[in-house]
Structure 1
């Protein structure tokens, strides 16, 4: 299982990461992140939720990186991605809120 957790600049993302226990967890955020974290590959830059192509960019990112679960820490992100839940499910990708039960 490969997991993407959004809101990498928040404490909630790190708390969720420790609870998941997946072998591969990627933290990502659309806000400014420290360059050293991006360069080391510990975090990735995500598209802005205001971007009209946000859903498609996240889907592409998940497919490119083999991500099967996306946990969102921001309500806006969850709402946008959940609206396209059927599309993500077709590719075997689960969209979850950070408050959802860990799967």
Structure 2
């Protein structure tokens, strides 16, 4: 599986790589990005940032690069991608965000400094950096969520 993680120039994106040891991870960001290619990961530029057409830029990039799954880390990408998830799905690209109508529940407006993160795919926790075991959640829990302790409310892990 080929996974795109946006915000590739940020340390949070690099932390996420350990959640996908058996997949190829493409770390991408807007503007200049280091041209590094390794066996299991690479860096790539998404071009010039245009927040008005984020979903279009990312869909085009995903199709061109044969991406199977996209994890948006930039705060400004989350809502447009959640609203466009059905379109991405038509191209076989899974968008890891909660549904658009429940995003407000998972967004933390201030800067987040979570100690841990967990990756959920349709309610199933596939990775937890804190080694906690999360029981299956509702299917709307889809994406990367930050937390400090397992009893915390999970919030989207964004930059």
TM range (shorter): 0.7 to 0.9
Task: With the length of structure 1 as denominator, give the TM-score of the two structures.
Answer: 0.80
Q: Does 1:9 align with 2:28?
A: no
1:62-81 maps to which residues of 2 (within 5 A)? Answer: 62-81=62-81
Between Structure 1 and Structure 2, how many residues are aligned? 98
- Residue deviations 1:20-56, cap 9 Å, x none? 22431100011443xxx22x44311114251x33212
Structure with more relative contact order (C-alpha pairs < 8 Å, separation 6 or more) = 1
Gaps of 5+ in 2: 98-116, 127-159
In structure 2, the residue matched to 1:55 is: 55
Quote the offset at 1:74 in angstroms. Answer: 1.6
Alpha carbons 1:69, 1:96 under 8 Å: kept: yes
Gaps of 5+ in 1: none
Q: Which runs of at least 4 in structure 1 moved beyond 2 Å after TM superposition?
A: 97-100
CA distance in 1, matches of 2:22, 2:67: 12
Distance 1:49 1:95, change over 3 A: farther
SS in 1 for 2:71: strand
Bigger proportion of residues as helix: 1
SS in 2 for 1:21: coil
- Residue deviations 1:3-33, cap 9 Å, x none? 0001111111011111122431100011443
